[in-house]
């Protein structure tokens, strides 16, 4: 068994506490050495206000995982790479496409692994769905990603700022699955609904097509109360495939398929460990490209102001 | 001397009449065989309402040049590629990044040349500027692209629609030069000024940085009356380099450099002929990536309504 990867976590917010820390605590591949956060640290773990302070104090860190908001991620990623550390990026890998291109080049030049993680691709139904769809004729796709922002992102003002992505923060999870299980597609039209007092959309209605003209429609909406919906329905010549609960459930032609329990972040950290041990990187920009395309090409309409 | 490339032009608007047709008429590399436009044809040249009709009538066409608005370009490009024709794309190469990715794959699969043209890169001062800057230390960059939209785009409603790009239509010319002569950079912040009655911005204030932190600022504004400005000023340790008049004039450390006369589209069509004859493609998405990043990350503010 290889020695554990000595890792530091940057950004100790909701996603770090809910997902990263429990997986790191349970994995034999990692030793959590330190955390860095401007908003306070973690009991029992050496904690620093900045990545720079953490790197200075722990010269033997192998890797850093970056979980802070996307607007602040580039500087940290570049500093980590420049210090010769492998870098795990939460999704989305940056606030812009161009900055991720620079990180890819920097990681290659420095000889470290860069992993742009897309956690939803590690949902248990995704890989079986991808395999079943491969080679089948697809007639249409309907994606519905409907959730209650007040429940999932309470008081997260950064998500509403320019570059915070708004409803594309969850919606990009749907795009990360769709780009993984479907043939290449592109945006043909979009409507973005933006609250009067915010910069980022609260809802998006997206129309895509693949090269064969197959219609792919995605609706993202953060105004859903009651039951939450994270579904991708693919109509094929052999019946419908339905990936629901964000990829945790799969039915094909009306029959539920048995799946292992959800373990997305375990899957991500397994993948990152494999990348680090083999000296490779994994950066797929397609989900972020579709989001950027929607912001560039989408029609904006102003909707009711949103307050938390 | 190789036989001329038999070419058809799609979209007979302002840019086709001002630039493409005169260059094709003068070049020994090309024979203009036909044109296609829903808004009427061209005297003395076989004219069709659609690309499909043109392709059906002229089975021996080698190539097509696509000059219609970006929102309609993908379907035409894919049809041209599917028919085995080489494709010349006006800038921007698409309304989305993803669609251009599909075109690149389709052209590769079909064995035809795809050229995403960026005409400003062929301005006479650009290549000398690139060579002089190469290896020099850059301190800062200021880009000012200020023009009168009423003069340059009279009544072009499509340019104000979602996907029409607004002031990024000329601004992407500046970005195409900057990405050619500077080290890689990325957007760090932006403000987009959008008229109350339009979808696309009339002005943009963009802040970029390269990996070393060098500040690069670009101001695009369509509300400029009087003298027009298309300037890129690069401060270096060896004095300033100033590329002005869109790249038609160059001064280095205060001294004007002699340049040949403007011949951007001649340069583009020479390049396209070389690509066709060598079986290569040339698609650089970086200018469009920066535009998409600005739409995704930029802060929008509403400004006075614009009417033609």
Distance between CA atoms of residues A209 and B71, nearest Å: 14
In the block, which residue shows the tokens 């911005």?
A: B201
Task: Quote the minimal CA–CA distance from B25 to chain A in Å.
Answer: 34
Domains of chain B, start order: 5-116 (3.40.50.720), 120-257+292-303 (3.30.360.10)
Using the beta-carbon criterion (under 8 Å), do A292 and B296 form an inter-chain contact?
A: yes
Residue among A76, A164, A172, A296 with most chain B CBs within 10 A, to mutate: A296
pLDDT in tens, B119-134: 999 999 999 999 999 9
Whole-number average pLDDT of chain A: 96
Distance (Å, rounded) from C-alpha B269 to C-alpha B282? 13
Chain A segment 226-285 residues within 8 A of B by beta carbon are none
The CA-based diameter of chain A, rounded to the nearest angstrom, is 59
Question: What's the mean per-residue pLDDT of chain B?
Answer: 96
Interface size A-B, in CB pairs within 8 Å, comes to 105
Q: B150: closest CA among B183, B195, B106, B111? A: B195
Catalytic residue from among B85, B91, B119, B290 = B91
- Structure confidence at residue B41 as a pLDDT band (50, 70, 90): confident
In what helix (H) or strand (E) does residue B229 lie, and over which residues does it extend?
Answer: strand B229-236
The pLDDT, as a whole number, for residue A108 is 98
Residue-wise DSSP of A69-115: -GGGHHHHHHHHHHTT-EEEEPSSS-SSHHHHHHHHHHHHHHT--EE
Structure tokens at A125: 């139904």
Name every residue whose Cβ is closer than 8 Å to that of residue B95 and which is 6 or more positions away in sequence: A296, A297, B70, B71, B73, B74, B163
Secondary structure (H, E, C), B111-172: CCCEEECCHHHHCCCHHHHHHHHCCCCEEEEEEEEECEHHHHCCCCHHHHCCCCCCCHHHHH
The pLDDT-based confidence of A1 (bands split at 50, 70, 90) is low
A163 near B CB under 8 A: yes
**A286, A289, A297 member nearest B162 (Cβ):** A297
Q: Is A290 on the interface with B (CB under 8 A)?
A: yes
Q: Which residues of chain A neighbour B105 with C-beta distances below 8 Å? A: 184
CA dihedral defined by A158, A192, B283, B173, rounded to 10 degrees? Answer: -80
The B residues from 74 to 113 touching A (CB cutoff 8 Å) are: 74, 78, 94-99, 101-102, 105-106
| Separation of alpha carbons B7 and B174, rounded Å | 29
Is B91 one of the annotated active-site residues of the chain? Answer: yes
Cβ distance A211 to B102 less than 8 Å, yes or no, reads yes
Among A125, A82, A292, A302, CA closest to A202? A302
Q: How far is CA A192 from CA A84, A118, B164, B306, in A?
A: 40, 23, 16, 22
Band of the pLDDT at A210, cuts 50, 70, 90?
very high
Check B289 against A97: CB less than 8 A apart. yes
Contact A289 B98 (CB under 8 A): yes
Cβ of A96 within 8 Å of Cβ of B286? The answer is: no
C-alpha dihedral sign at B182, B188, B193, B198: positive
What was the pLDDT predicted at A190? 98
Q: How far apart are CA A245 and CA A126, in angstroms?
A: 11
Q: Are strands A114-116 and A203-210 parallel, antiparallel or unpaired?
A: unpaired
Buried b (16+ CB within 10 A) or exposed e, B148-179: ebeeebeebebbbbbbbbbbbbbbbbbbbbbb
Beta-carbon neighbour count of residue B26 at 10 Å?
10
Please list the active-site residues of A: 91
CB contact under 8 A, A98 and B184: yes
Contacts of B3 (CB under 8 A, 6+ apart): none
User: How would residue B1 be classed by pLDDT, with cut points 50, 70 and 90?
Assistant: low
pLDDT of A191: 98
Average pLDDT, integer, range A161-171: 94
Q: What confidence category does residue B13 fall into, taking pLDDT thresholds of 50, 70 and 90?
A: confident
The model's pLDDT over B230-277, given as tens digits with 9 standing for 90+, comes to 999 999 999 999 999 999 999 999 999 999 999 999 999 999 999 999
What is the reported pTM? 0.96
- Tell me if B99 and A162 make a contact (CB, 8 A cut-off): no
Within 10 Å of residue A17's Cβ, how many Cβ atoms? 12
Q: For the packed helices B286-297 and B97-110, what is the interaxial angle rounded to 10 degrees?
A: 150
Ordered alpha helix ranges (H), A32-72: 51-57
In this prediction, residues A192-211 reach a mean pLDDT of 97
Look at B153 and B204; give whichever has higher pLDDT.
Answer: B204
For A56, how many CA atoms within 13 A lie in the half-sphere containing its CB?
6
Task: List all residues 6 or more positions away from B118 whose beta carbon is below 8 Å from its beta carbon.
Answer: B91, B172, B173, B176, B180, B284, B287
- Looking at residue A109, what is its pLDDT? 97
Strands (E), chain A: 5-10, 30-36, 47-48, 63-66, 86-89, 114-116, 138-146, 185-195, 203-210, 215-221, 229-236, 239-244, 249-252, 255-257, 299-303
Residue B257, judged by CB atoms within 10 A of its CB (0-12, 13-18, 19+), counts as middle
**Looking at the DSSP assignment, which residues form a beta bridge with residue A232?**
A143, A243
pLDDT band at A41 (very low <50, low <70, confident <90, very high): confident
Average pLDDT over residues A43-65: 96
Spell out which residues of chain B touch residue A300, defining contact as CB-CB under 8 Å.
162, 199, 300
Polymer length in residues for chain A: 308
């Amino acid at each position: 068994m290889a020695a554990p990867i000595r890792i530091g976590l940057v950004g100790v917010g909701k996603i770090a506490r809910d997902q990263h820390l429990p997986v790191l605590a349970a994995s034999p591949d990692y030793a959590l050495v330190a955390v860095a956060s401007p908003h306070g640290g973690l009991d029992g773990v050496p904690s620093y206000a900045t990545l720079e302070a953490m790197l200075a104090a722990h010269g033997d860190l192998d890797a850093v995982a970056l979980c802070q908001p996307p607007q602040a991620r580039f500087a940290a990623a570049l500093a980590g790479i420049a210090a010769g550390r492998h870098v795990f990026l939460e999704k989305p890998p940056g606030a812009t496409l161009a900055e991720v291109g620079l990180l890819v080049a920097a990681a290659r030049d420095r000889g470290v692994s860069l992993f742009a993680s897309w956690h939803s691709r590690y949902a248990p139904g995704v890989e079986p769905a991808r395999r079943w769809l491969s080679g089948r004729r697809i007639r249409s796709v309907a994606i519905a990603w409907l959730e209650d922002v007040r429940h999932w992102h309470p008081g997260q003002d950064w998500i509403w700022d320019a570059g915070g992505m708004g409803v594309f923060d969850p919606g990009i999870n749907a795009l990360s699955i769709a780009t993984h299980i479907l043939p290449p597609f592109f945006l043909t039209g979009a409507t973005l609904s933006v609250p009067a007092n915010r910069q980022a959309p609260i809802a998006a209605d997206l129309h895509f097509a693949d090269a064969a003209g197959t219609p792919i429609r995605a609706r993202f909406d953060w105004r859903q109360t009651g039951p939450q919906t994270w579904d991708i329905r693919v109509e094929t010549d052999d019946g419908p495939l339905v990936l629901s609960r964000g990829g945790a459930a799969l039915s094909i032609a009306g029959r539920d398929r048995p799946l292992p329990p959800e373990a997305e972040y375990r899957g991500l950290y397994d993948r990152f460990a494999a990348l680090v041990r083999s000296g490779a990187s994994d950066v797929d920009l397609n989900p972020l490209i579709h989001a950027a395309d929607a912001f560039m090409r989408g029609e904006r309409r102003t909707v009711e102001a949103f307050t938390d």
